[in-house]
């Protein structure tokens, strides 16, 4: 049975049972604790946590998921992959254990001819939580299985919790026995033998005092018992398709087949190669799906995960012996299979392929540069008589050049060297800890959301009126400082305030929060920031300017109208620039991120090449033409499928309501986007759009910056003032300014060349004198000379000139040390006769390097180094003479 058919039967089965089918959410959700959606229930968390009322009492979905903790282990086992699809059915207080078990068992065991999956009951084993006798009785009742066919497992396997106070409950899994070839009879910890493919979570308990996922107290029962199930689509696919593992199913194995053709190697012939083939199949698919949902390669967070996946796929192809560009051959194969379900892969292929292929090209350059650095490092180790590449060298290759450690290991082995892996891992661990500490600090006071959930549970959601008004009369529901409730905020203190109703826009969708004031009886507070730490609750960060604020106080909340006007102009301006961008570059130029504050906008978009000045000018012209046309700006609510059918653009990484979304349009179909921000009523109210910059922000991603409104006019005024000052200074007209400045630049460059030529001639003029002062050290003519004011280039030029002036056919060594602002440049040069006597420029530079606080190296004829200690240059020159004498036997 093909994967698409398994998916179709799952959804049809639960739809017939009254479940509302819900489309897969994006892999990117607005959850501070998750990089990606990693389970089918994630989009439904607000319902399970009681933060929102579900629009249906039961639902079913097939959710795209990505899990990243064990990327390095992908392919080494045959059970886990990075991207996978989780089939789920969910009940929000409707049915519970008995119905959940009935529905699961019916689909799994029903013959394929009747629309089921047709699993052999004799091979199926339910598992239950060891302290859940009710589940045991229900499995016996529904399936007729004997007691010894129902496995009892502990908390680590069969109790679900999120690791924080809230809902939890026992689980029940369906396992399939794959036979004695995969493990011992009755050994349910042998996952290859008894493979779990369906997990039913019976969400019935209210957890408190949670010390870990397995150590907590059960405070009582939930008022509504819920069902959350997860079924691994890929696992069912490989079991119904008669293959060994998920990598061999119909939507993944074609990539392996293509990799076989490209590499000339065969899957199944070599266990090491098999891991590489599986990495390719998984990472090509995972990378494609992430790009499809708006991720672009980068060095942080989601972008770094994508970069690792794509580069590991390319690297694995290299290890399989294929060194040409691989993704253009492999990714279309994955697109054709996954695109049968996810049609956006076809319609958005131009953007997806451009991002992926550009990343591979960048990595190929990285490999080239890293290989050169590795060769130098390996050569130094061998020259020093060592056999091991240091951990810090391997880390530098990884961290600075993006060189994977396993590629370093492979190349080191080929060079007859080992690698200090422990040192490398220690440095990697330090880097990860720094990243965790940084991420923790950035989460700030909203990292622990328990206090906010308590406020939401006690008072309900905030009445949010940012679209309707700039002012409200409000009541203070809670006052917090340092993340905990306090009775009062006093003058000068900074804290947080939760109101029953607010006109303030909370930061989201790239738009910064509103600024304004809260005025109570005898108190004045400045609003510094507005956030939604949990869905439905608006929290104001404030500074008390006068008086003090207490809970239950009544106050007047007022948004700064000038601030809101500027924010509306910038946000609507972002939509206009996005539409102009797509008009100039084409529909694949899609926004991947934005930031708006009053008078300023920043828009990131997927594109692999820099825009030329004409394109930037066109984007600005199209934008301002839209403003001049005074296009109407409107918004309306509809379901997400309706919005997509209407042509609205859903921006990457944004979270949208399951039942209704807000579509903002400017000029009708010219610009239609899903957006929750504040906007002007007509495009002319934006005032102006002045593009101030276009630059790269990572592989496959560009950024446009612009000013809007009065800030845009101010920017133009400043530009005008600069032009005016230059025309006065240069005594020319504005239209002639570029030519006049260009002429001055050319004259300046010509003058600099003449100065440089004269300086170099002066430097070399002393070469003959310096050569004539060579010391005789045994049979060797030695020049050891200091030149103040000479950098590395000058020192090298002088050393080569002096070497050429030494007696021909006789051994000669030249060492020139230049000093500029206490920075030291060392250059050594030897002639053929000196090298025949064993003298090496590389050895001389390495010998004197520590004396001047540096190091260096090179070849036997010419070598160069540097340092930071000019106080010991004299000692260094004396050491040169001593080293020559020792080596030449003088």
Percentage of residues of the chain with pLDDT beyond 70? 95
Residue ranges of alpha helices (H) inside 417-489 are 421-443, 450-459
Q: Of the segments 21-35, 60-74, 449-463, 717-731, which one has the largest average pLDDT value?
A: 717-731
Q: Is there a domain that residue 773 lies in?
A: yes
Q: How confident is the model at residue 747 (pLDDT cuts 50, 70, 90)?
A: very high
Give tens-digit pLDDT for 781-840: 999 999 888 888 888 989 999 999 999 889 999 999 999 888 899 999 999 999 998 999
CATH number of the domain within which 700 lies:
3.30.980.10
CATH number of the domain within which 839 lies:
3.10.310.40
Q: Is there a domain that residue 443 lies in?
A: no
Task: State which H helix or E strand residue 775 sits in.
Answer: strand 775-777
The SS3 assignment for 83 reads strand
Q: Which of 717, 743, 777 is the last residue of a domain?
A: 717
Q: Which of 297, 332, 363 is the last residue of a domain?
A: 363
Question: Residue 723 is encoded by which pair of tokens?
Answer: 């032009």
User: 154 with 224, same domain?
Assistant: yes
Q: How confident is the model at residue 607 (pLDDT cuts 50, 70, 90)?
A: confident
Nearest-angstrom CA–CA distance, 863 and 845:
6
Q: Is there a domain that residue 127 lies in?
A: yes
Nearest to 265 by CA among 281, 277, 280, 282: 277
User: 695 with 641, same domain?
Assistant: yes
CATH number of the domain within which 544 lies:
2.40.30.130
User: 221 with 258, same domain?
Assistant: no
Taking the chain, what is the end-to-end CA distance rounded to the nearest angstrom?
85
Residue 836 CB burial class (10 angstroms; 0-12, 13-18, ≥19): exposed
Q: Is there a domain that residue 177 lies in?
A: yes
Is pLDDT of 572 > 90?
yes
Q: Is 171 annotated as a binding residue?
A: no
Residues 6+ apart with CB under 8 A from 545: 491, 524, 525, 526
Question: Residue 150 is encoded by which pair of tokens?
Answer: 């129902």
User: 510 with 488, same domain?
Assistant: yes
Give tens-digit pLDDT for 94-133: 999 999 999 999 999 999 999 999 999 999 999 999 999 9
Q: Which of 363, 388, 420 is the last residue of a domain?
A: 363
User: 570 with 712, same domain?
Assistant: yes
Question: Residue 773 is encoded by which pair of tokens?
Answer: 């002062």
User: 183 with 197, same domain?
Assistant: yes
User: 156 with 59, same domain?
Assistant: yes
What number is the average pLDDT over the span 491-501?
Answer: 95
What number is the average pLDDT over the span 562-585?
Answer: 96
Give tens-digit pLDDT for 617-666: 999 999 999 999 999 999 999 988 888 888 888 765 555 565 688 999 99
What number is the average pLDDT over the span 339-363?
Answer: 91
User: 109 with 218, same domain?
Assistant: yes
Q: Is there a domain that residue 38 lies in?
A: yes
- Domain residues for the domain of 535 are 460-559
CATH number of the domain within which 177 lies:
3.30.930.10
Contact present, 558 and 519 (Cβ < 8 Å): yes
User: 533 with 637, same domain?
Assistant: no
What number is the average pLDDT over the span 719-729?
Answer: 93
Percentage of residues of the chain with pLDDT beyond 90? 59
Whole-number pLDDT of residue 659: 64
Give tens-digit pLDDT for 70-90: 777 788 877 678 999 999 999
Nearest-angstrom CA–CA distance, 812 and 777:
10
Residue ranges of alpha helices (H) inside 506-560 are none
What number is the average pLDDT over the span 503-524?
Answer: 94
Q: Is there a domain that residue 379 lies in?
A: no
Q: Is there a domain that residue 439 lies in?
A: no
What number is the average pLDDT over the span 352-361?
Answer: 91
User: How many CB atoms within 10 Å of residue 402?
Assistant: 18
Q: How confident is the model at residue 440 (pLDDT cuts 50, 70, 90)?
A: very low
Nearest-angstrom CA–CA distance, 194 and 178:
6
Angle between the N-to-C axes of helices 841-848 and 873-888, in degrees from 0 to 180, rounded to the nearest 10: 140
Nearest to 826 by CA among 854, 859, 804: 854
Q: Is 87 annotated as a binding residue?
A: no
Q: Is 675 annotated as a binding residue?
A: yes
Is pLDDT of 405 > 80?
no
User: 311 with 332, same domain?
Assistant: yes
Contact present, 71 and 309 (Cβ < 8 Å): yes
Q: Is there a domain that residue 603 lies in?
A: yes
Give tens-digit pLDDT for 655-691: 556 568 899 999 999 999 999 999 999 999 999 999 9
What's the structural domain count of the chain?
Answer: 6
Q: Is 679 annotated as a binding residue?
A: yes
Is pLDDT of 439 > 50?
no
Strand 775-777 and strand 780-788: the pairing is antiparallel
pTM of full prediction above 0.85: no
Report CA torsion sign: 40, 44, 50, 54. Answer: negative
Nearest-angstrom CA–CA distance, 424 and 434:
16
HEC profile for 756-785?
A: HHHHHHHHHHCHHHHHHCCEEECCEEEEEE
Nearest-angstrom CA–CA distance, 766 and 114:
98
User: 749 with 773, same domain?
Assistant: no
User: 133 with 227, same domain?
Assistant: yes
Average pLDDT, the chain: 89
Largest interatomic CA distance in the chain: 106
Angle at 359 between CA 356 and CA 362, to 5 degrees: 155
Nearest to 844 by CA among 824, 827, 819, 820: 827
């Amino acid at each position: 049975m093909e994967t698409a058919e398994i998916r179709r039967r799952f959804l049809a089965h639960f739809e017939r049972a009254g479940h509302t089918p819900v489309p897969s959410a994006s892999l990117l959700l607005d959850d501070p604790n998750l990089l990606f959606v990693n389970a089918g229930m994630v989009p439904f968390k607000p319902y399970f946590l009681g933060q929102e009322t579900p629009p249906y009492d039961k639902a079913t979905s097939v959710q795209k998921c990505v899990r990243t903790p064990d990327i390095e282990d992908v392919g080494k086992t045959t059970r886990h992959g990075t991207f996978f699809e989780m089939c789920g059915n969910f009940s929000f207080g409707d049915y519970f254990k008995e119905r959940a078990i009935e529905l699961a068992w019916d689909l799994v065991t029903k013959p394929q001819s009747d629309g089921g999956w047709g699993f052999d009951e004799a091979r199926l084993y339910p598992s239950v939580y060891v302290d859940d006798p009710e589940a045991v009785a229900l499995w016996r009742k529904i399936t007729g299985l004997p007691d010894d066919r129902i496995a009892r497992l502990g908390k680590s396997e069969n109790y679900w919790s999120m690791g924080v106070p809230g809902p939890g409950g026992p689980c029940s899994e369906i396992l399939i026995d794959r036979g004695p070839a995969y493990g011992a009879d009755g050994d349910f910890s042998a996952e290859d033998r008894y493979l779990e493919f369906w997990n039913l979570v019976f969400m019935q308990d209210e957890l408190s005092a949670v010390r870990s996922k397995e150590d907590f107290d059960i405070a009582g029962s939930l008022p509504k018992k819920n069902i959350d199930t997860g079924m691994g689509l890929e696992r069912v696919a490989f079991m119904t398709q008669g293959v060994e593992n998920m990598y061999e199913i119909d939507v993944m194995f074609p990539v392996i087949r293509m990799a076989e053709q490209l590499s000339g190697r065969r899957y199944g012939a070599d266990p090491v190669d098999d891991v590489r083939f599986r990495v390719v199949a998984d990472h090509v698919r995972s990378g494609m799906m992430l790009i499809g949902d708006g991720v672009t390669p980068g060095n942080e967070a989601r972008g770094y995960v994508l970069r690792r996946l794509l580069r590991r796929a390319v690297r694995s192809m290299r290890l399989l012996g294929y060194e040409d560009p691989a993704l253009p051959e492999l990714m279309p194969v994955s697109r054709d299979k996954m695109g049968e379900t996810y049609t956006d892969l076809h319609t958005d292929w131009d953007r997806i392929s451009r991002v992926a292929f550009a990343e591979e090209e960048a990595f190929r350059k990285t490999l080239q540069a890293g290989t050169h650095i590795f060769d130098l490092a390996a050569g130094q180790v061998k020259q020093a008589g060592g056999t091991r590449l240091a951990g810090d060298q391997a880390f530098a290759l990884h961290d600075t050049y993006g060189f994977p450690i396993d590629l370093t290991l492979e190349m080191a082995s080929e060079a007859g060297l080992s690698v200090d892996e422990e040192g490398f891992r220690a440095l990697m661990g330090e880097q990860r800890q720094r990243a965790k500490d940084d991420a923790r600090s950035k989460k700030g006071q909203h990292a622990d959301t328990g206090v906010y959930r308590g406020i939401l549970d006690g008072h309900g959601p905030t009445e949010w009126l940012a679209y309707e008004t700039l002012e409200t009369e409000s009541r203070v529901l809670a006052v917090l400082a340092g993340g905990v409730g306090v009775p009062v905020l006093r003058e000068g203190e900074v804290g947080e305030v939760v109101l029953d109703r607010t006109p303030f826009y909370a930061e989201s969708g790239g738009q910064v929060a509103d600024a304004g004031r809260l005025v109570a009886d005898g108190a004045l507070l400045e609003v510094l920031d507005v956030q939604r730490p949990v869905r439905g609750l608006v929290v104001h960060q404030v500074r008390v300017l006068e008086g003090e604020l207490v809970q239950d106080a009544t106050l007047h909340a007022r948004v700064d109208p000038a601030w809101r006007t500027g924010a509306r102009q910038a946000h609507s301006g972002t939509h206009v620039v996005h539409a102009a961008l797509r008009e100039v570059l084409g529909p694949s130029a899609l926004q991947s991120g934005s930031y708006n504050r009053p008078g300023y906008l920043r828009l990131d978009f997927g594109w692999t090449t820099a825009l030329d000045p004409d394109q930037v000018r066109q984007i600005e012209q199209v934008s301002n033409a839209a403003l001049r046309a005074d296009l109407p700006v409107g918004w309306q609510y509809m379901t997400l499928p309706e919005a997509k059918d209407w042509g609205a653009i859903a921006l990457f990484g944004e979270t949208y309501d399951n039942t209704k979304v807000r579509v903002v349009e400017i000029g009708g179909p010219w610009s239609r986007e899903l957006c929750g921000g504040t906007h002007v009523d007509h495009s002319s109210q934006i005032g102006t759009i002045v593009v101030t910059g276009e630059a790269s922000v990572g592989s496959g991603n560009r950024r446009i910056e612009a000013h809007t409104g009065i800030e845009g006019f101010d920017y133009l005024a400043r530009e005008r003032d600069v032009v005016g000052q230059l025309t006065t200074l240069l005594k020319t007209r504005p239209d002639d300014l570029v030519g006049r400045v260009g002429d001055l630049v050319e004259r300046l460059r010509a003058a600099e060349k003449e100065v440089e030529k004269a300086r170099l001639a002066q430097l070399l003029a002393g070469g003959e004198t310096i050569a004539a002062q060579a010391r005789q050290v045994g049979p060797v003519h030695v020049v050891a000379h200091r030149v103040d004011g000479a950098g590395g280039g000058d020192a090298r030029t002088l050393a080569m000139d002096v070497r050429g002036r030494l007696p021909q056919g006789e051994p000669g060594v030249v060492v020139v040390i230049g000093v500029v602002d206490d920075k030291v440049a060392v250059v050594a040069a030897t002639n053929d006769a000196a090298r025949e006597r064993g003298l090496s420029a590389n050895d001389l530079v390495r010998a004197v390097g520590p004396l001047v606080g540096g190091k260096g190296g090179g070849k036997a004829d010419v070598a160069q180094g540097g340092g930071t200690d000019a106080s010991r240059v004299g000692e260094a020159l004396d050491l040169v003479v001593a080293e020559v004498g020792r080596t030449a036997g003088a």
